[in-house]
Amino acid sequence: MVILSLNCGSSSVKYMLYDWKARKVLASGIVERVTVGGSVITHEVPGRDKFALKQDCSNHKTAIQLLLDIVSHPQHGVIRSFAEISAVGHRVVHGGEKFVKSVIISDETLGVFRKLSDLAPLHNPPNIMGIEAARELMPEIPHMAIMDTAWHQTMPKSSFLYALPYAWYEKYGIRRYGFHGTSFLYVAKRAAVLLGKDPFRCNLVIAHIGNGVSLNAVRRGVSYDTSMGFTPLEGMVMGTRSGDHDPAVPLYVMWKEGLGPKEMDSLLNKKSGILGITGKYTDRRDVIAAADQGDERCRLALEIESYRIRKYVGAYAAAVGGIDAVVFTAGVGEKAPIIRGLALEGLEYMGVRLDAERNELAITRNSECEISAPDSAVKVFVIPTDEERVFVEDVAALSEGRYDVHTNFKYRFQAPGFQNTMRDDAFAKECAANPRLREVACRPPVLVRA
């Protein structure tokens, strides 16, 4: 069974092709600048050099057609024809309350996703466009939806309801939904392996830090609370999103400057966060470099972001009754030691002791690392997320009729010896350049093919 996973954003299509029987990644890549001009596909196959091709893609259909052409290309491909693909898994950001697990996509399912687009206007529409395009290009095979919100459907009402008129929840579904669910699912299961514990006996705080940022309180292996809310705007300071603030502030500025709801929505989602504080940066690498050069607003942005993370770590540890580990994941969480260090500063009282040297060494997206001190009562891990792995396992299980909610279903990556061979190759190259990286890597003793 060959499985294609697709993650369609507004101007990109990220993909991975996986051979389920052989347990290996065949290829992965991304088509960027879809719909905006100057499109380029970057295609990676284990053991080969990266391949890139510029070809304009005016819509998601042409982008998906391009990646299908590349994966079946005589020179650059890995399959003879895209007819060899057995099923497709699609990322869908918002599944509302209706979906507690991944599902096979039908016309009815698509209709529900369209109705939910008001709740995720930046994400669900391109997700839907990708699904429609892929179904049109590959109509004979099943397509599955893997939803960011499904993981969080275990939250109790005391976590997900706002202190707003209850009728708003009944009429409009206004509540905390949470996002980054496939990332949290993967990382929570892997953290349990590193702890050597049953996942449903683990309490964790997971920090998914990328351009979008959210924290997840995991109590006995399931989502108990999360920082993103009704939309991805709530919670942490993010690249361009404000995160938590007094809700009266936007109303006040709208009144003072004569702004409408759409203008304020754009300001809060696209002009705030790290960009709002620094005035020019969203990429944390730029912010860190500028702060090192004495830029006070960039230094302040790092401190504000890290302080917000620290507040939530403490709050969530209290909420779940103590934690086994703090876990960092996603691009910034995996590669920004300064943010990890600032975020955990002063948490020794609750058993979190960071090893500063190990933290500085752990800059990789290809290996799980432990960065806590030997005497730390609470472990601190860096676990590179792998949402596509969740996609392919859900798709395979749905295709074979053995899938269920994660509390009744065991993923292959929960095996103690699970190994991602594609990441192993990349990690070996990193270690050739920096041999000390091996000192912080968590390497399982038994190998299982990815």
DSSP string, 130-181: HHHHHHHHSTTS-EEEEETTGGGGG--HHHH--SS-HHHHHHH--S-----H
Record the tokens describing residue 448, joined without a space: 């299982």
Query: What angle is formed at CA 31 by the lines to CA 30 and CA 33, rounded to 5 degrees?
Result: 130
Query: In what side-by-side order are the strands of the sheet with 2-8?
Result: 51-54, 40-44, 24-32, 12-19, 2-8, 85-92, 143-147, 103-104
Residues 341, 228: Cα–Cα separation, whole Å: 23
Note whether 213 and 202 are within 8 A (CB): no
Q: State the average pLDDT for the chain.
A: 92
* pLDDT for 447: 39
* pLDDT for 284: 93
Residues 184, 224: Cα–Cα separation, whole Å: 12
Record the tokens describing residue 85, joined without a space: 């693909």
Phi, psi of 402 (to 5 degrees): -120, 15
Residue ranges and CATH numbers for the domains of the chain are: 2-147 (3.30.420.40), 181-382 (3.30.420.40)
Question: Is the pLDDT at 299 greater than 90, yes or no?
Answer: yes
Residue pointed to by tokens 């002063």: 346
Residues 216, 181: Cα–Cα separation, whole Å: 9
Question: Is the pLDDT at 188 greater than 80, yes or no?
Answer: yes
pLDDT category, 76, cuts 50, 70, 90? very high
CA dihedral 189, 192, 197, 201 (to 10 degrees): -70
Question: Is the pLDDT at 408 greater than 70, yes or no?
Answer: yes
Question: Is the pLDDT at 450 greater than 60, yes or no?
Answer: no
Residues 180, 426: Cα–Cα separation, whole Å: 25
pLDDT mean over 217-245? 96
Task: Enter the pTM of the model.
Answer: 0.92
| Helix and strand element counts for the chain (H, E) | 16, 14
Catalytic residue list contains 148 = yes
Residues 96, 258: Cα–Cα separation, whole Å: 33
Query: What angle is formed at CA 412 by the lines to CA 70 and CA 442, rounded to 5 degrees?
Result: 95
Catalytic residue, chosen from 56, 148, 198, 404, is 148
